[in-house]
Amino acid sequence: MPRTRALPPADELLASLAELGVEDAPSEGPDEQALRGLLDFALFLAEHRKRITFRGFSWDDPAFRVTDAKVEFRVAYLKLSPQDDFLGAVRAHLLRASRGNALLAVDAFGTGLREFDAGHALYGDVTLFSYPSKPAESADPRVDAARERGWVKTLKEHNLLPGRGIVVLDEHQGALLREDAFARLQGLLLLLPSGQTNLWWNPFVEAERNDSELQYWLSWGEGLGASSEWREVVRYEGEE
């Protein structure tokens, strides 16, 4: 089970960011939680050896830039209120993460949002098939296309490919497949009430931003190496 943690005070977050070379982070916000949530997202990425800048930052459209040697992302921040509907709030902010490489960072720290509810809303509700019954493969060509593009890790993580008797049936798909507008969402960072941060990718995003190598973005750190070992294994298997 992920460990529950409290968000550090803003001054501690700012000090930690400064130690990692982030000198332009905002020190004030519309409220304390928004500032701490924004800074905590930035620190999470900086701790994965990403370079962070808040150049041109405004609370009218809060966002920061994340770069490494391979890619640059714009990370748009969204704070949820306890009464907000998760999917409705994301839907209303899709345009902020719709152009270029972009992530939507959803701060649900001050809410009662449960991780599996958010995951099911995006990827779909799961069905458990008791042994010896086996879940059927999806008939949706988009799932097969995502698998062919290399998104197997993400598809399995969210039960869009059957495994362990659990699968998202086509009739129970989540917003990423059910709503055309969600094809704009490249990925989502989610800060949960427990303090846990998740990075969830959209394997169905439009082709120009659909790079399955991004599944390993956090683990490739500064991005100074060659293609991932995973990609090399796939290439060699194809040559046999």
Mean pLDDT of 69-91: 97
Architecture label for domain 10-123+181-227: 3-Layer(aba) Sandwich (3.40)
Question: Assign residue 56 a region: left if phi > 0, alpha if psi is -120 to 50, beta otherwise?
Answer: left
Whole-structure pTM value? 0.91
Mean pLDDT for all residues in the chain: 92
pLDDT at 135: 84
CB 174 within 8 A of CB 168: yes
Confidence check: pLDDT of 196 > 50? yes
Question: According to the 3-state scheme, what is the secondary structure of 157-175?
Answer: HCCCCCECCEECCHHHECH
The domain spans of the chain are 10-123+181-227, 125-173
pLDDT in tens, 105-118: 999 999 999 999 99
